[in-house]
Structure 1
Amino acid sequence: MSEEGTFPPPKRLPWHETAWNGLMARIRSGRLPHALLIAGPSGVGKLQFAEYLVQARLCREPDSEGSPCGKCDGCRQFLAGTHPDWRRLAVEAKRKTIRVEQVRELSAWMSLTASQSAGKHAIIAPAEIMTTGASNSLLKTLEEPAGNALLILVTSLPGRLTPTIRSRCQQVMIPRPDQQQALSWLSEQGEGDWRETLALAGGSPLKALSLWDSGGVEQARENARRVLAVGTGRETVVNAADQWIKQDLASVIAWWRVWLQALSRQLQAGPQYADALSSVQGDELQKLASRINWKALHELLSAVDHAERRLDSANPQLLAESLLGQWAQVCGIIRGAPDQRSLAQGRLEGNGSAFTQ
């Protein structure tokens, strides 16, 4: 919130224009559906887009492009979070899912008469964390919409929504911008090593901005130095894993997936694909490249993808040791399939599992 007690105004970002113009065309022709699914990769401003749309719908004096004026009573109430015709449903504190009770309460609210002709508006974000019960409850609202209400689901993982929910929403895709557009926008936000940061963020500008502001780029560089130290035998897997779990492991693994993909592209196609490989690595990375086991590298990338999906059920220490052990195998430090328990010495003992049973 700002000092005046209002929420920061949502913005329409440059790469939103195609999606925005398409929606405005539907509105002008009277074809806006009662439910939208705003989908796309993380870090591209999907929630901002959804909130901007709601503000525009509640605005009493939108401009010729459908953009909200920001000054009328409707806009002021929206920005203050007090507009009677809009709500946002999100995960509650200390929970990981959106519960069925939340959806039932929202559905009951949407069935009430709106205070203005624009109708009721609700956003569910991130929609993919609804429980099965919540999803089933939402279907009733989607099948029997109230009046001219608009329900907007926002997700980076549309595949996790049930097919019946997806089929009852019109999907609006928010793609990543191309590199030039993203770098241009980032440069307008202030000074930074934007090319490297954008690459570390997987091409998502808002994620890149957050990464830079939080000091995440320097942390990524430190993690890269540690990974190289493991790959050259200067640091043990266990010690490196100990450092990883002191951080947010989900963020570390997300970074490593991007780093490994960049490494694979550089080795195959040249340094023009190496933006995510920090310049601090220099000659050491080049020396290591000649020892890379390609089959093991591809297997490690698959393991990292699997780990990202299973973080909630994983033992963090064993997971970090397992992945770093596979990296040591990629680099020839460990021969054969690595074990989670005695990777510090590079020996194979026992049959541990990084995931809880």
Structure 2
Amino acid sequence: MSIGLLGLLDDVAGLAKVAAASLDDVTGMAMKAGAKATGAVIDDAAVTPRYVQGFTADRELPIVFKIAKGSIRNKLLFLLPAALALGYLLPWAITPLLMFGGAYLCYEGAEKIYHLLAPNPAHEHEAHLDSVAVAATTLEDQKVAGAIKTDFILSAEIMAIALAELPNENLVAQAIILVLVAFGMTLAVYGTVALLVKADDFGLSLATNRSGIARTFGRGLVKGMPIVMSTLSVVGTAAMIWVGGGIIVHGLEAFGLPQPGNIIHHWSEAAAQILPGVSGVLSWIVQSAGYGVAGLVIGAALIPITGYGIAPAWRLLKSRWSRNGTEGVH
């Protein structure tokens, strides 16, 4: 009996080790897959704080929480099943969809730069683009709905990038890893957003403290947060263009067009030989800059295409759809 019990315990211990190793592998894969989506994540964190601007301090965290709930719902109820079905039924479609998402990131980043450099023409361009109507009864509902809509697009790119890193995993492993990515990315993005939107309130409370050090730190925090937000916006825009350009360059390689990727790789190798002591860092900087240039060119080309091609076609399609719907009612 005791020998049998010891054997059973030994087997259980062995199974526990295997399970722990498997969990460690899955966690590692989730972290690796999530790291590839850095650009979309940074942009998500940079964009979201604007949705709480104009509201009282007591509504900021509830709004962020509402958006976070909508984000996790987007990922788990819609994007996760779609990603698993796509990976199982149409794995060849992952690369084209990634390239489509990469083009969107390039366009968004280039449009932000265009808006900064030429604000008046940019406003005229935006006037040609239809906004999506939201069924909301209050300004807060409208802001939350708009943030969740934007999050859906960025979350789709995050999940697609993560899925592309799991080609050899079985369906169950893919599901577990994507769930971990969904929760991890949502926590990272909206945890950061919550800290950002409340940092100035925290600084203000410290600024009224009697302690000289705390008061100085609080004032510095209040004055520094606008700079932090502006810097985060710049980093988010750069990350969008860089990641989007990289996705498209790699996608072109998959479709038999390796020339852009080869040129960027050649530049990065040449740069690495200039300063061998920091060859890895220098190579990465040049490679990222190459992807950024490619992304900026693609995004700039998409601005007029979207404004004068895609947007009018979308308006025409919507008008015909609504007209057909009205005729059906009558």
TM-score range, shorter chain: under 0.3
Instruction: Flag the structure with more relative contact order, 1 or 2, with Cα contacts below 8 A and sequence separation at least 6.
Output: 2
Q: Which has the higher strand share?
A: 1
Tell me which protein shows more helix as a share of its residues. 2
How high is the TM-score relative to the length of structure 1? 0.22
